[in-house]
């Protein structure tokens, strides 16, 4: 008759890999029908109960206790299996585990002071506390642990940003630092391509493809899956892009993520643009503004992202900046368009690098300007604005702005007086039925705005050399008045993006030191022993902590100890 035999080992903590291996080994013993080997957490109690492996006495197991349950053909077979536990555990102890293991992070760092990284893979409810200890010691974090509260993630990353440290995670599965793979990483050659990824398997797919295409990886920095949410704000991704931008070994950057929050995507693209390095972007589910904006290249899938990165890494990069610099340092752009489609296309392109962006031709609901006619309202003055002046709300009782420039001239003068405006964007549409000399009508006001108010003006000219307004002459007039002139929307968007991506969103202070990528890799491992084994196998220096849950896993006592420590 089948029997359930069990054993509770108080205060015997083992990581989940060891427990998995032990469970499999016990299940393979003669006379054993099934086995369950878990720490006595509430979730594991429920799991055993649902699996039919829950004898009545198992309720006594606490979170810090090892609970072993054997379902055997009879009581004798079950007891024989339990007698094998110590032998099986000893067989699964690794070289790292058999070496001396310090019991505290402070002791581990005294043993290996050169360790600049700490790997944390303890259960989620303990991970934030362990991570805080590492940050307090000035170490960068690879935080594999999942089930970490979002508020803890935000607090950890904000603390790291203040100290110039990196927090990869929580739930970060993949990274490659100095050629050493952390977590689930593939063996790839070193090279000139640096990656930032909020997707672990995405990083694996791209780095593997780069290797198979003959390219190489300088660094691959994971962020954790929630980093690009609005609440977290891309704190790790932004710091990582900035770091790779300063890394002399990285010539091309790749940014890959599941769908990001729109405002976070905007900030990261602005940061990438400021590096000046070719950057390949693949945001799943994100509509890119084009195939390329300046140094930003947008991929449609993981394979294309890898191929683009390899091709760019083989090119001789000579980025040419436009000699025209910003005039007044007002941070915001004002677009005053006569063509609705041109305004909408400008929004499509600029939303990737300008935030917040408001308009009466929104692509996304949050971009809608509540009152486009509002002249001094707070929404109008709180960000970048693109207006279609040919929309119904502006043409009631007046001619279309392609015929009558009066409204646009008035708005240009008004916007020029705003202290937060630095650039005014116009379209100049030629052709039959349009104003016979639109550039001439705009020139004096453009000159006033650029010379007296010191504001930049960009003009997009749409037309042909056969149009009655004399297209070359129109362009000459605009140039003479002080405007930058473009005849292609993509080029115009690229120019504005290069000069006007909001500087405040593209800076990291204090920056993460390049020593994070240049010092020989050395780490303290807290949690999964297999991670320490992997590091050692790759030739990295590693010391593994003999970690146990604080206060025996007692939540109340843990909170009390934390208060006393603070």
Over residues 439-459, the pLDDT tens digits come to: 999 999 999 999 888 899 999
Mean pLDDT of all residues in 307-316: 89
In three-state secondary structure terms, 501 is coil
Q: Is the pLDDT of residue 198 over 50?
A: yes
Per the model's pLDDT, the better-predicted residue between 323 and 457 turns out to be: 457
Residues of the chain above pLDDT 70, percent: 89
DSSP annotation string for 167-226? EE-SS--EEEETTEEEES-----EEEEEEEES-HHHHHHHHHHHHHTT--EEEEEE--TT
Closest residue by Cα to residue 562 from 203, 70, 130: 130
Integer Cα distance of 496 and 491 in angstroms = 9
Q: For 517-535, what is each residue's pLDDT tens digit? A: 988 999 999 988 889 989 9
306 CA to centre of own chain? 18
> Which H or E run includes 246?
helix 235-246
User: Dihedral (C-alpha) 40, 41, 42, 43: value to the nearest 10 degrees?
Assistant: -110
Band of pLDDT at residue 329, cut at 50, 70 and 90? low
pLDDT for res 90:
74
pLDDT at 95 (0 to 100): 44
Average pLDDT over residues 151-159: 96
Task: List, for residues 67-104, the tens digit of each pLDDT value.
Answer: 999 998 998 988 998 888 888 877 755 544 555 688 88
Mean pLDDT rounded to a whole number for the chain: 86
> Is the pLDDT at 9 greater than 80, yes or no?
yes
| Confidence grade of residue 349 (pLDDT, cut at 50, 70, 90) | confident
Where is mean pLDDT largest: 32-41, 465-474, 487-496? 465-474
Question: Which is more confident, 375 or 99?
Answer: 99
Domains and CATH numbers, the chain: 3-93 (3.30.70), 172-319 (3.40.50.261), 332-501 (3.40.50.261)
Query: What is the band of 382 on the pLDDT scale with cuts at 50, 70, 90?
Result: low
Predicted pLDDT of residue 331 = 83
Give residue 212's pLDDT. Answer: 94
pLDDT of residue 156: 97
For residue 323, pLDDT beyond 50: no
Confidence of residue 258 (pLDDT cuts 50, 70, 90): confident
pLDDT band at 242 (very low <50, low <70, confident <90, very high): very high
């Amino acid at each position: 008759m089948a029997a359930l035999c069990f054993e509770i080992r108080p205060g015997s903590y083992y990581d989940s890999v060891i427990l998995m291996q032990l469970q499999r080994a016990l299940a393979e013993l003669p006379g054993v029908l099934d086995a369950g080997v878990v720490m006595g957490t509430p979730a594991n109690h429920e799991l055993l109960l649902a699996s039919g492996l829950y004898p009545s006495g198992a309720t006594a197991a606490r979170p810090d206790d090892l609970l072993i349950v054997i379902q055997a053909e009879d009581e004798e077979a079950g007891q024989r299996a339990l007698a094998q536990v110590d032998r099986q555990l000893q067989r699964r102890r690794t070289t790292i585990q058999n070496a001396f293991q310090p019991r505290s992070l402070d002791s581990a760092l005294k043993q290996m002071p050169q360790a600049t990284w700490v790997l944390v893979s303890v259960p989620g409810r303990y991970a934030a506390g362990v991570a805080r200890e590492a940050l307090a010691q000035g170490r960068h974090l690879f935080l594999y642990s999942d089930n970490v509260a979002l508020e803890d993630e935000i607090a950890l990353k904000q603390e790291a940003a203040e100290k110039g440290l990196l927090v990869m995670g929580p739930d970060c599965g993949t990274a490659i630092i100095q050629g050493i793979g952390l977590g689930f990483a593939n063996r790839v050659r070193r090279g000139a391509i640096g990656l930032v990824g909020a997707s672990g398997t995405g990083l694996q797919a791209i780095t593997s493809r780069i290797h198979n295409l003959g390219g190489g990886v300088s660094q691959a920095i994971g962020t954790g899956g929630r980093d690009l949410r609005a609440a977290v704000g891309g704190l790790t991704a932004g710091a990582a892009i900035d770091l790779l931008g300063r890394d002399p070994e990285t010539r091309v950057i790749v940014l890959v993520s599941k769908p990001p929050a729109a405002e976070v995507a905007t900030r990261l693209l602005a940061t990438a643009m400021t590096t000046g390095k070719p950057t390949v972007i693949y945001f799943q589910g994100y509509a890119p503004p084009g195939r390329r904006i300046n140094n930003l290249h947008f991929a449609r899938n993981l394979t294309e992202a890898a191929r683009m990165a390899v091709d760019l890494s083989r090119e001789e990069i000579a980025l040419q900046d436009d000699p025209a610099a910003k005039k007044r340092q007002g941070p915001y752009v004002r677009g005053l368009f006569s063509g609705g489609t041109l305004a909408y296309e400008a929004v499509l392109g600029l939303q990737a690098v300008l935030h917040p962006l408001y308009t009466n031709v929104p692509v996304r609901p949050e971009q809608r300007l509540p009152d486009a006619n509002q002249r001094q309202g707070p929404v109008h003055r709180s960000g970048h604005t693109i207006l279609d002046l040919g929309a119904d709300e502006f043409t009631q009782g007046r001619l279309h702005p392609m015929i009558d420039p009066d409204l646009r001239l008035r708005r240009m003068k008004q916007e020029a007086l705003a202290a937060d405006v630095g650039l005014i964007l116009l379209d100049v549409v030629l052709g039959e039925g349009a104003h016979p000399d639109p550039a001439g009508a705009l020139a004096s006001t453009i000159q006033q705005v650029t010379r007296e108010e010191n504001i930049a003006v960009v003009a997009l000219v749409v037309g042909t050399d056969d149009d009655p307004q004399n297209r070359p002459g129109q362009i000459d007039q605009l140039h003479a008045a002080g405007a930058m002139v473009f005849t292609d929307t993509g080029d115009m968007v690229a120019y504005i993006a290069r000069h006007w991506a909001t500087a405040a969103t593209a800076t990291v202070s204090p920056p993460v030191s390049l020593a994070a990528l240049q010092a020989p890799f050395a780490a303290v491992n807290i949690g999964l022993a297999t991670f320490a084994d992997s590091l050692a196998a790759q030739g990295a220096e590693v010391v593994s902590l003999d970690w146990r849950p604080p206060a025996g896993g007692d939540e109340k006592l843990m909170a009390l100890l934390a208060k006393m420590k603070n």
